[in-house]
Amino acid sequence: MTLLQNAVACPSDVPVLTLPNGDANRDGKVDEDDYRLVDAALGTSDPNADLNGDGAVKDDDLALVKAP
């Protein structure tokens, strides 16, 4: 009666989104394509262009594309 097996409490403690700086199209690099993608999505809630994940595509997301 001493065999207590603790189930793994939280096996999937992995961030759902891993966003490299400004890599909107996730091709591994930040370039004009990402800028255009975000710029074209300004004012929308396109999750691919919402780089900071606040639910809206705005200038701050565009700033992330510009950031190195």
CA 22 to chain centre: 9
Rounded to whole angstroms, how far apart are CA atoms 49 and 57?
6
Q: Which amino acid is residue 16, in one-letter code? A: V
Given 45, 54, 59, 67, the residue binding Ca ion (CB under 5 A): 54
Binding mask 2-41 for Ca ion (x = CB under 5 A): ---------------------x-x-x------x-------
59 binds Ca ion (CB under 5 A): no
Rounded to whole angstroms, how far apart are CA atoms 38 and 57?
7
Residues that bind Ca ion (CB under 5 A): 23, 25, 27, 34, 50, 52, 54, 61
